[in-house]
Chains A and B, each alone.
Chain A
Amino acid sequence: MSSPSAEASSSSRTRQPNRFSAKGKNVVMTSHGRLPWYSPEGKNIEAYVIGIAGGSASGKTSVARAILSALNYVPTVLILSQDSFYRKHTQEEIDLAFKSDLDLDHPDSIDTALFAKCLADLKQGRACEIPVYSFVHHQRMPETKYLYGANVIIVEGIMALQSADMRALYDLKVFVNCDSDLMLARRIKRDVKERGRDVDGILDQYLRFVKASYDNFVQPSSKHADIIVPGSSNQLAIDLLVSHIKDQLDNRSLRFRSRLGRDGQSRPLANGKTQVTPSNNTTHTFGDTDEDSGVILLEQTAQLQGIMTILRDCETERGDFIFYADRLSTMIVEKALSLLPHEPHRVQTPVGMSTEGTISMQEDLVGVSILRSGGPFSHGLRRVVRDVPLGAMLIQSDPKTGEPILLSLDLPQSVKNGETSKTVRALLLDSQMGTGAAAMMAIRVLLDHGVPESNIIFLAFLISRRGLTTIRRAFPSVQVVTAAIDPDLYEMHLPLGNAVLGEAAGEGDYSITVVEHDTLGLQRLNLKGDGGDSGFEAGSSLEGYRIDNQNPNQVIDSDRPDSGSGSGFGERRDAGQETWSPTKQQVEELKFSRDRKDSMKEVKQKRAWVVSPGMGHIGDRYYLA
C-alpha cells in the first residue's frame, strides 16, 4: 500500500511533537490539528490501539514513548496508563497503602471493567472521562480527566495483557521482556530517587507482592503478545515495531474532501473554473427530493430576498454586511428554536386571569459555532437566547490537501460530560456549507460526545446542494435550517495573496487547497490515456472503509497508485459513474505522514471550493475591514 517515496519522506521527518500534556504517565500528544477520523459516510474509523505489558520497571514507558516520538506526525497519540485505573479504595486499604502493605500488583487491584469501557469508547472515537488516581493519597480522586480524539492509543501497564476484554481491543499486543535482576535494580533506583522510599521497604514490597505478581500473572500474559521486545538495548526492535505501526496507520488514513466535491459530474467553464453539479437533476426545486425533508428553508419572502441580495452583492460595504448578517442570523436562529419541543404551561396574567400557553424546552440548549465564519451566528443566538452556553470549534483546511482539520475545540461543559450530553440540544452554527466537509467534522465531534443525532440542528446562511446531499446521507437525523440552497459548487484557482495564511490556509468550508504549480503539469500528464473508469475491482476493499458496489460514487479514495482516474485538478471528467482516485503523485498526500516542511514552498495559487452564487468568504467580509 505504501509507496517507496512515502517511506523515504516519512523517515526523514524531523518535526517534534508540539505538546506533551498531563503530568505523569498519561500523555496526550497533539500535533497541528486533527484530520478526518471518519469515513465519508460519517462513520468513525477506529483508533489504532497498542497494548504494552511487562514487569514493573521493565521499560514499558520507554517503549511507549519511543513509539510516541516516532509517530510525531500522527495528529493525536495518547498513552493511557494502567495506573489511572486502580480501584477506589476503602479507608482500611488506604491505611495499608500508607504502610506499604497494600497489594497493588494483583490483577484485582485494577478496575478492569472501567478500563475496558474507557478504552472501547476512545477506540470508537468517543469522548471519555478517565479516573485520576493519586499515589500521594493512595486513592482515586473525585475529579476525572476528559480525553477526546486520539488516532493512536497506547495502553501500558503490568496487567495490560491480562484481561481478555482488554486484549480484544488491541490492534497490536507488545510484551516488554526484561531480566528480573535488571528490573529490581531499576525499581530500587527509581523508587529511592523519585518516590523517596527506603531500600528495605522496596525490597520487602518486592518480595511480598511484586515478584509473586510477576511470576503468576505478568510473565504468563506474555503468551498473548504479538511481539516480545527486550527491555534494554532495544532500538532495533522499536524500529521494527514503529515501521509496522506506520504501515498500519497509513492504510487507515483518510482523505475525502475532493471526493465530496467531485462526487458528481463536472464540466470545465470558459473562465478556467471547474463546475461541479450534482449528479442528480440540478434544476429541481426545493422539496422535490427526500433529502429536503430534514431541511428547513426560511420562507422566501421579499424581505429575505432583499437581505440575501445585499449579502451576496460583492459591493456591499462591511457595515451593511455586518448589519444584515446579524439580522439574518437572528431570523435563522428564531426558526431553529421553533423546532425545539414545547410543553403546555399555565400562567397568571397581571389582569388576574389564568391562561394556557406553552413553554420551550431550552434548558439543555447549547450553541457551537464553527470558527471563524460561524462567529456572526453566535451574535444572533445571543440576541435571542441571552444565557445559552456557547462553544466553538476551529476547523480549517489543510493547505496542501484541502482536508478539513480540527484545530481547536472548546465545548460547553454539558457536552463534555458524558451524562448530560445525552439530552443536549445543539445548534451548530456556520455561515455556509460548501462541500459539507467541515459540517460533517463538527457533527461528528458532537456525536462522539454522545449528543444524539436528532438533537443536532445545523444553521447556515446558505448551503450548497452538494453539501446538503453529503450531510443528509451521512447524518439523516440532523436538521438543517438555512436561508438559501445554492445549486453550484466550483473549484476555483485563486491567487495566493497573503502569506499570513500560515499553516492552515482557509476555513473548513471554504475549503482551500494549495497546489504547487509545477506538480500540476505532472498530474495532468499522468492522466493521459485514462479510460475514465476507476479500475476498482468488484468487492475489493481497503482497511478502514469499504467500497460500496451498489453505488460507485460512494467509493472514496483508494490508495492504489495504479487506479488512476480523472483526478487532475480542473480536468475534464467523463460523465457518469467515474470515481475519484489519486494519481501516483498524490498517494503521498493520502498518508497520515503528511510532510509539512515544504507544503507552502513555491505555492503560487490556492484552490478553493466555492458555493455559487454564494456570498464569498463570509468570515472575511464580516471580520476584516
Chain B
Amino acid sequence: MSTPTISTHRPSLPDGAMVLPPTLQLQALLTIIRDEKTQRTSDRIIRLLVEEGLNHLPVVPKTVKTPVGADYEGVSFQGRICGVSIMRAGLRDCCRSATEQPPYLQILIQRDEETVQPKLFYAKLPDDISERYVLLLDPMLATGGSCMKAIEVLLSHGVKEERIIFLNLIAAPEGIHNVCSKFPKLRLITAWVDQGLDNHSYIIPGLGDFGDRYFL
C-alpha cells in the first residue's frame, strides 16, 4: 500500500504501516496530549485515525438519485466491520462517533506478572467476526506484545489477516517492525512515530500511560 509523505526524520516503515500526514494541526494535538498537564483531549486524533482506517475498507460503485432529481454516481460501503479495543475502552467512544453500525468489543490483555508475557484475560467476539473487517484499537504501540497477542486472538477466531486494520496513536519504531514483520498482510495506521523505547520499554517522548491519563 502507498506510504504518505513522511517528514525526513522518520524511520523507514514496513509496507503494511502508514502514518497520518504530519500536519501542524496533528503536531499541535499531539503536543497537547503529550503535555503532562493535559487530560483527555486525545479524541480528535483518534477520530482522524478512525477516519483514515475506514478509508481502507472496500467500496463498490453505486448510483443514487438526489433530492433535486439528479443522478449521482457515488460509492457504497462494502463489508461489515467490527471494532475491537485492547484493554481499556479509550478508543471505542471515539470510534463510535465515526461509524455507528459495528459492534464494539473489548479484549482485555494484560501482562501476566509471573511469565512477564501478555496474557488474554477476556475476549467476547461476535460469531460472525470471521466475515468482518476488524478495526483493532490500541493507543500506544511500544514493543507490540499485547497488540500481537490480540491479533493472534482475532486470527484464531477466523478473521483474515488482511482484514485487520490496526489503529494506533503513538508508536515506537520497534513495535511497528515487530508487528508488521509478524503480520505482513495487516494494515497498521499510526498518528505518530516516536524516537524509541527507554529501558523500561516506555515510548519516548511518548505521553505516559494512556489508559491512566484517559480514565483516571
Contact A350 to B208, CB < 8 A, known contacts A314-B65, A342-B28, A358-B31: yes
* Minimum CB distance partner of B54 in chain A: A303
Contacts of A355 in B (CB 8 A): 31, 34, 205
The answer, yes or no, to whether A599 is at the interface (CB within 8 Å) is no
* Minimum CB distance partner of A340 in chain B: B25
The answer to whether B72 touches A613, judged by C-beta atoms less than 8 angstroms apart, is: yes
The answer, yes or no, to whether B127 is at the interface (CB within 8 Å) is no
**Contacting residues of chain A (320-365) with chain B, CB-CB under 8 angstroms:** 323, 327, 330-331, 334, 337-338, 340, 342, 345, 347-351, 353-355, 357-360
How many angstroms from the CA of A53 to the CA of B3 in the assembled complex? 74
Selected contact of A358 from candidates B27, B54, B66, CB within 8 Å: B27
Selected contact of B28 from candidates A349, A358, A611, CB within 8 Å: A358
Contact A309 to B72, CB < 8 A, known contacts A303-B54, A353-B205, A357-B30: yes
Selected contact of B64 from candidates A302, A314, A323, A351, CB within 8 Å: A314
How many angstroms from the CA of A348 to the CA of B69 in the assembled complex? 56
The answer to whether A354 touches B59, judged by C-beta atoms less than 8 angstroms apart, is: no
The answer to whether A327 touches B70, judged by C-beta atoms less than 8 angstroms apart, is: no
CB distance from A512 to the nearest CB of B (A): 13
| Interface segment, one of B43-51, B108-116, B131-139 | B43-51
How many angstroms from the CA of A358 to the CA of B192 in the assembled complex? 14
The answer to whether B67 touches A621, judged by C-beta atoms less than 8 angstroms apart, is: yes
The answer, yes or no, to whether A616 is at the interface (CB within 8 Å) is yes
- Interface membership of chain A positions 147-173, coded 1 if the CB is closer than 8 angstroms to chain B and 0 otherwise: 000000000000000000000000000
The answer, yes or no, to whether A612 is at the interface (CB within 8 Å) is yes
* Minimum CB distance partner of A308 in chain B: B74
Contact A309 to B31, CB < 8 A, known contacts A353-B205, A383-B97, A616-B67: no
How many angstroms from the CA of A621 to the CA of B31 in the assembled complex? 39
B residues lining the A interface (CB < 8 Å):
23-25, 27-28, 30-32, 34-36, 44, 47-48, 51, 54-55, 57-59, 62, 64-72, 74-77, 97-98, 100, 198, 202-209, 213
How many angstroms from the CA of A216 to the CA of B41 in the assembled complex? 69
How many angstroms from the CA of A323 to the CA of B96 in the assembled complex? 11
Selected contact of A359 from candidates B23, B31, B59, B62, CB within 8 Å: B31
How many angstroms from the CA of A612 to the CA of B47 in the assembled complex? 30
* Minimum CB distance partner of A346 in chain B: B31
The answer to whether B31 touches A614, judged by C-beta atoms less than 8 angstroms apart, is: no
- Interface membership of chain A positions 604-625, coded 1 if the CB is closer than 8 angstroms to chain B and 0 otherwise: 0000001111111100010000
Contacts of A327 in B (CB 8 A): 97-98
The answer to whether B70 touches A357, judged by C-beta atoms less than 8 angstroms apart, is: no
Contacts of B44 in A (CB 8 A): 334, 384
CB distance from B6 to the nearest CB of A (A): 17
- Interface membership of chain A positions 266-308, coded 1 if the CB is closer than 8 angstroms to chain B and 0 otherwise: 0000010000000000000000000000000000011101101
The answer to whether B34 touches A616, judged by C-beta atoms less than 8 angstroms apart, is: no
How many angstroms from the CA of A224 to the CA of B81 in the assembled complex? 80
The answer to whether B68 touches A492, judged by C-beta atoms less than 8 angstroms apart, is: yes
The answer, yes or no, to whether A518 is at the interface (CB within 8 Å) is no
The answer to whether B77 touches A351, judged by C-beta atoms less than 8 angstroms apart, is: no
CB distance from B197 to the nearest CB of A (A): 10
How many angstroms from the CA of A360 to the CA of B207 in the assembled complex? 19
The answer to whether A359 touches B28, judged by C-beta atoms less than 8 angstroms apart, is: yes
The answer to whether A617 touches B30, judged by C-beta atoms less than 8 angstroms apart, is: no
The answer to whether B74 touches A614, judged by C-beta atoms less than 8 angstroms apart, is: no
Interface of B is mostly: mixed
Contact A312 to B59, CB < 8 A, known contacts A302-B75, A305-B74: no
How many angstroms from the CA of A11 to the CA of B62 in the assembled complex? 58
Selected contact of A347 from candidates B35, B76, B100, CB within 8 Å: B35
28 contacts between A and B (CB under 8 A): A302-B57, A303-B54, A306-B76, A309-B74, A313-B64, A313-B72, A313-B74, A323-B100, A327-B97, A334-B44, A334-B48, A342-B25, A342-B28, A345-B28, A348-B35, A349-B34, A349-B36, A349-B204, A351-B203, A351-B206, A353-B204, A355-B31, A355-B205, A358-B31, A360-B24, A490-B68, A612-B68, A615-B66
The answer to whether A616 touches B25, judged by C-beta atoms less than 8 angstroms apart, is: no
How many angstroms from the CA of A301 to the CA of B203 in the assembled complex? 32
Selected contact of B31 from candidates A314, A351, A357, CB within 8 Å: A357
The answer, yes or no, to whether A598 is at the interface (CB within 8 Å) is no
How many angstroms from the CA of A309 to the CA of B78 in the assembled complex? 13
How many angstroms from the CA of A315 to the CA of B67 in the assembled complex? 8
New A-B pairs, 18, CB < 8 Å, besides A309-B76, A348-B36, A615-B66: A305-B75, A306-B75, A313-B74, A334-B47, A340-B25, A347-B35, A350-B213, A351-B202, A351-B204, A351-B206, A354-B205, A357-B31, A358-B27, A360-B25, A610-B68, A611-B68, A613-B66, A616-B66
CB distance from A393 to the nearest CB of B (A): 25
* Minimum CB distance partner of A490 in chain B: B68
CB distance from A46 to the nearest CB of B (A): 39
How many angstroms from the CA of A306 to the CA of B64 in the assembled complex? 11
Contact A357 to B25, CB < 8 A, known contacts A327-B98, A621-B67: no
The answer to whether B100 touches A313, judged by C-beta atoms less than 8 angstroms apart, is: no
Contact A351 to B23, CB < 8 A, known contacts A358-B31, A612-B66: no
- Residue in A357, A490, A614, A616 whose Cβ sees the most chain B Cβ within 10 Å: A357
The answer to whether B25 touches A303, judged by C-beta atoms less than 8 angstroms apart, is: no
How many angstroms from the CA of A614 to the CA of B71 in the assembled complex? 10
The answer to whether A347 touches B67, judged by C-beta atoms less than 8 angstroms apart, is: no
The answer to whether B28 touches A612, judged by C-beta atoms less than 8 angstroms apart, is: no
The answer to whether A338 touches B23, judged by C-beta atoms less than 8 angstroms apart, is: yes
How many angstroms from the CA of A357 to the CA of B29 in the assembled complex? 9
Closest 6 CB pairs of A and B: A616-B67, A309-B74, A357-B31, A350-B208, A313-B64, A338-B25
How many angstroms from the CA of A85 to the CA of B51 in the assembled complex? 57
The answer to whether A349 touches B55, judged by C-beta atoms less than 8 angstroms apart, is: no
Selected contact of A313 from candidates B57, B65, B69, B202, CB within 8 Å: B65
